[in-house]
Amino acid sequence: MSARAIRDRAAIVGIGQTAFSKSLGRSEYDMALEAIVAACDDAGISPRDLDGTVRYDMETTDEENLLAALGNPCLRWFASSAWGGGGAASVIVLAATAIAAGMASTVLVYRSRARGKASVYGAGAHQGGRYWERLATALPGLNQWHVPHGLVSAFQEMAMIAMRHRIEYGTTDDQYAEVAVAFRRHAQRNPNAVMRAPMTIADHHASRMISDPLRLFDCCIETDGAVALLLTSAERARHLRQRPAYVRAGAMAAGGHHIRLSSFYDRDRADDGAPRVGRQLWAMAEIAPSDVDVAFFYDFFTPLVIMALEDYGFAPRGEGGPFVEGGGLAWPDGRLVANTNGGQLSEAFIHGFNNTVEAVRQIRGTSTSQVQDCELAFVAGGNTDPTGAVILRR
């Protein structure tokens, strides 16, 4: 890889989203199109001028659905990212790569999820739902090694990974609570956030244990909503409607996956996907973690944010817990202000894409918890999956 590769070649020039809610009662297709048209409007680009798309492989609004709804734009680049939330920033890397290579000029990135209670249960259930509730009774895949023993969902797998981090480094409930409380404080300032009630460390500790050591308030919320982002070349971005969020650097790395727990510990943590992403990213960006003005971690579970601080080099290994103490991630005075939208713990769980939209707002200067003179934003996908991360700059 050339050291600069995709550096500063593309920019995010449009963002769009639906309302976020525990129950919108709408299809994923419908929500996707609202967010996509909004992102195009934001950029001042017609949806008919899109020539590239990047989505998750599990996205239900595929290219065919998209073309039918948008009047058949002439796509010449369409890619997808596997591994769920691990790909939250990889989709931006893939879009920027296509633009840097000249394979597309206007690339749409989007995610729509009907995961709120009314979408998972009842009449709209076919729209979304949780994969583990649709498991077959005969398991030929890798899930044959854990589902028969009652390990059926991500939060349980993450609980075991989080427990190991406690065994090795003494990470505490109070440190978990610091993450949840900081992000809730941000959500309280964000009218789009789903969870806006005040939360204290005691409130966190009083929430029910669902899979030790994870309590309910350690987990991301389940919501309905969609998000879209539009990327184009850095040259063209300068002449569009919004202040561009340039993709300063981007990196991806395949590694362990939380569902494959029996092989997750086959490699040293320092050699796993997220730490390698970090090293690649800082090298391409030619900046250090301490240069970042605001960070967006894939906050599906509080202890994984603590691990992410270590994985990406913001804190030494084993010191992510102490890093978050005393409001370490809280706006405006934390050591590293993070997830200023409230994140997936308190704003919405759009598979990380809502965090990326908030990173763009920080670069534009329009966040409800705006970091002063924000020039560099870090955005990462899930750090216990094959994953990626990007640096956005003003």
Question: Closest distance between another protein and the C-beta of residue 325, in Å?
Answer: 24
Query: Could you tell me the smallest distance in angstroms from the CB atom of residue 254 to another protein?
Result: 14
Check residue 366 for interaction with another protein (CB under 8 A): no
Q: Angle 302-311/154-169 helices, nearest 10 degrees?
A: 60
Residue 177: count of CB within 10 angstroms of its CB: 23
What is the DSSP pairing of strand 376-380 with strand 224-233? Answer: unpaired
For β-strands 224-233 and 106-114, DSSP reports them as: antiparallel
Contact window for another protein (CB under 8 A) among 138-146, 199-207, 303-311, 314-322: 138-146
Q: How far is the CB of 90 from another protein (least distance, A)?
A: 24
Binds another protein (CB under 8 A): choice among 12, 38, 88, 159: 159
User: Is 193 or 214 the residue whose CB approaches another protein more closely?
Assistant: 214
Binding of residue 125 to another protein (CB under 8 A): no
Going by C-beta distance under 8 Å and a sequence separation of 6 or more, which residues neighbour residue 80? Answer: 54, 55, 56, 57, 59
Among 63, 235, 266, 319, binds another protein (CB under 8 A): 266
User: Is-cis flag, bond preceding 213, omega within 30?
Assistant: yes
Token pair of 91 as six digits:
């989709």
Give Dmax (Cα) for the chain.
57
Q: Under rule CB under 8 A, how many of the chain's residues touch another protein?
A: 40
Contact between 135 and another protein (CB under 8 A)?
yes
Nearest 5°: the CA angle 275, 280, 284 is: 150
The window from 58-66, 180-188, 199-207, 208-216 that contacts another protein (CB under 8 A) reads 208-216
Residue from 54, 92, 107, 161 that binds another protein (CB under 8 A)? 161
Question: For residues 253 and 150, what is the distance between their CA atoms, to the nearest angstrom?
Answer: 30
Q: How far apart are CA 272 and CA 387, in angstroms?
A: 10
- Binding-site member from 4, 164, 236, 317 for another protein (CB under 8 A): 164
Q: How far apart are CA 374 and CA 380, in angstroms?
A: 17
Which residues are bridge partners to 226 per DSSP? 112
Decide if residue 268 touches another protein (CB under 8 A). no
134 touches another protein (CB under 8 A):
no
Which one, 145 or 196, has the nearer CB to another protein? 145
Q: In angstroms, what is the minimal distance from the CB of 321 to another protein?
A: 17
Q: In this complex, which beta carbon is closest to another protein, that of residue 150 or of residue 198?
A: 150
Q: Is residue 167 part of the contact set for another protein (CB under 8 A)?
A: yes
Closer of 151 and 240 to another protein (Cβ): 151
Strands across the sheet with 376-380, in order?
Answer: 77-81, 52-56, 106-114, 224-233, 10-17, 245-253, 387-393, 376-380, 294-296
Q: Which positions lie near another protein, rule CB under 8 A?
A: 132-133, 135-140, 142, 144-153, 156, 159-161, 163-164, 167, 208-214, 260-266
